Amino acid sequence: MAVLGQGTAQGACTLLHALGAGYGSSIGLDISTRVRLRDDEPNNVADDPSNLLEHTVSVWEDAGLSRPARYLFWQVRSDIPIGVGLKSSAALSVAAIKALIQATEVELEDADIVDLASRAQLAAGVSFTGSVDDSWAALTPGWKVVDPNLPAAQGILLEGEFPVPDDWTVIIALRGERELLPVPERFAMGTEQFQAAVNAVEQGDLLLALTLNGRAVATALADGPGRRLANDMMVWGGRAAGISGSGPAIICFVHGDLRGEHFRHNKGVPYEGSCRVPFVVYYPGKVKPGTRIDQALGSVDFLPTMMSMMGVATVGTEEGRDASRLFTGAAADDWQDITFLRGTGGVQGWLMAVTDRYKFVLSPNDPPWLFDLTRDPDEITNFFEHSGYREIVQQLAKQLHAYGTKHHDPFINVARIKADLEWSIRGTGPYVGKPSKPAGPARKRKNTAKKKSK
């Protein structure tokens, strides 16, 4: 009695919907499905409402490949929501085939795995086209434009890598279960939009393709709310947004580059264009439409907040705060409008205390900064030494010190940050900053002036 094989595959989002565009294209996301193939029955039954795993084994045997044991059982762990357009079926079938490969010690090409996964999805009735592009995205990095009518090895028309994937954040808006089922004939209504998406892929503009394809799918499904939400996400800072697959999930790509603001072309800095990100919650019955949260929240707050809204207990050791009452309208009189951010990528990064209005930044390379986003939304002026802000500086400094002490943040003990923090809490009179590096000996300049000719 043992585990016979294991397999992992990733979820994905749609660049081109094969029903409308005639060609399919998807790109993998950092969400995954992991399966174990066993010869004994596990305690937990795999969540497989379409019997896709059973069809995968049947397709495997129909291809003349050996069954690893008489009785086969599956364990599945997945963070890919089922039936919302994030390619959960492609990921499950690909992961299962990889487990069968490990169990039988056979060697298959990637294209063979994709063909088997496509047949399994057709047999299970979870795909109209076989989802060849989805299976490629579940199995391999990058993106491919495929002809779904050809075998996987012959059907790749274009392929490439997504530019610098680590620089992007993907927001997934889950809008409940699928209510609008795809009707193939309706996809002809968006022919021009789908063709525009194909043209965008051919020109290498994947983000435009995702957006145009999403709008075409919204037309085919008559999903007006989905289109409006995708448009709103673009207005709120997304670089691309659209319905994935046949919905209802909406994908939004967000980038933190400053694009020349403050003479910067990167992210990872305390400016709004880098550190503020859009966050959208759709939860009918829990969150009233049009709710706007102006209090400062950090990414560590999202886990306890979302778990609380779903009524799921956490282990209680997470750093973040449960902000669910801000979303649900419950009393929140004692809520502290502050969060804390820190730089990454070094042992001497910056620290910042943030409220809805103020940002107090300490760095080993600069004097302290205080931004007032109400008076100076473009973050041009440093209000740290302005006399009217002394109380604000002191308050934020105390809270930043408490954060660093509680969570043992090493940046709090960086010499200059420590000195500036102490002065901000207790100091009086004009601020005298300390240099981040010892000053070297002064150098004598050579007299290079030329004598005037007489």
The reported pLDDT for the residue numbered 435 is 44
How far is the C-alpha of 219 from the C-alpha of 221, rounded, in Å?
A: 5
Over residues 222-229, mean pLDDT: 95
pLDDT band at 433 (very low <50, low <70, confident <90, very high): low
Higher pLDDT, 429 or 424: 424
Domains, the chain, ordered by start: 3-161 (3.30.230.10), 292-335 (no CATH), 339-426 (3.30.1120.10)
Report the predicted TM-score, pTM, of the whole model to 2 decimal places.
0.64
The reported pLDDT for the residue numbered 43 is 85
φ/ψ (deg, to 5) at 11: -75, 175
pLDDT band at 438 (very low <50, low <70, confident <90, very high): very low
Residue 45: strand, helix, or coil: coil
Residue 260 has pLDDT above 80, yes or no: no
Using alpha carbons, select from 361, 370, 343, 366 the residue that is nearest to residue 436.
366
% of the chain beyond a pLDDT of 70: 93
pLDDT band at 451 (very low <50, low <70, confident <90, very high): very low
The reported pLDDT for the residue numbered 190 is 87
The reported pLDDT for the residue numbered 450 is 38
Q: Which residues pair with 296 in a beta bridge?
A: none
Residue 245 has pLDDT above 50, yes or no: yes
Rounded alpha-carbon distances, angstroms, from residue 81 to 26, 156, 200, 294, 330: 17, 27, 28, 29, 29
Q: Among positive and negative, which fits the CA dihedral 287, 293, 295, 301?
A: positive
Tokens coding 212: 């145009």
How many residues appear in the chain? 454
The reported pLDDT for the residue numbered 446 is 40
Summary mean pLDDT of the chain: 89
pLDDT in tens, 170-197: 999 999 988 888 898 899 888 999 999 9
Long-range Cβ contacts of 263-271 (<8 Å, 24+ apart): 267/167, 268/343, 268/344, 268/345, 269/343, 269/350, 270/341, 270/343, 270/350, 270/352, 270/359, 270/361, 270/369, 271/379
pLDDT band at 307 (very low <50, low <70, confident <90, very high): very high
- Least confident segment among 22-36, 63-77, 308-322, 437-451: 437-451
Cβ-based burial of 126 (10 A; exposed 0-12, middle 13-18, buried ≥19)? buried
Residue 340 has pLDDT above 70, yes or no: yes
Residues ≥6 apart with Cβ < 8 Å to 264: 258, 271, 274
The reported pLDDT for the residue numbered 330 is 86
How far is the C-alpha of 338 from the C-alpha of 343, rounded, in Å?
A: 17
% of the chain beyond a pLDDT of 90: 68
The reported pLDDT for the residue numbered 452 is 37
The reported pLDDT for the residue numbered 345 is 64
Residue 362 has pLDDT above 70, yes or no: yes
Residue 104 has pLDDT above 90, yes or no: yes
pLDDT band at 256 (very low <50, low <70, confident <90, very high): low
Over residues 23-41, mean pLDDT: 95
Tokens coding 380: 């041009």
Cβ(244)–Cβ(223) below 8 Å: no
Q: C-alpha angle 32/33/35, rounded to 5°?
A: 150
Over residues 281-292, mean pLDDT: 89
The reported pLDDT for the residue numbered 95 is 98
Higher pLDDT, 263 or 26: 26
Over residues 295-299, mean pLDDT: 90
- Least confident segment among 91-105, 299-313, 336-350: 336-350
Using alpha carbons, select from 217, 4, 218 the residue that is nearest to residue 100.
4
How far is the C-alpha of 26 from the C-alpha of 87, rounded, in Å?
A: 9
Residue 350: strand, helix, or coil: coil
How far is the C-alpha of 407 from the C-alpha of 333, rounded, in Å?
A: 25
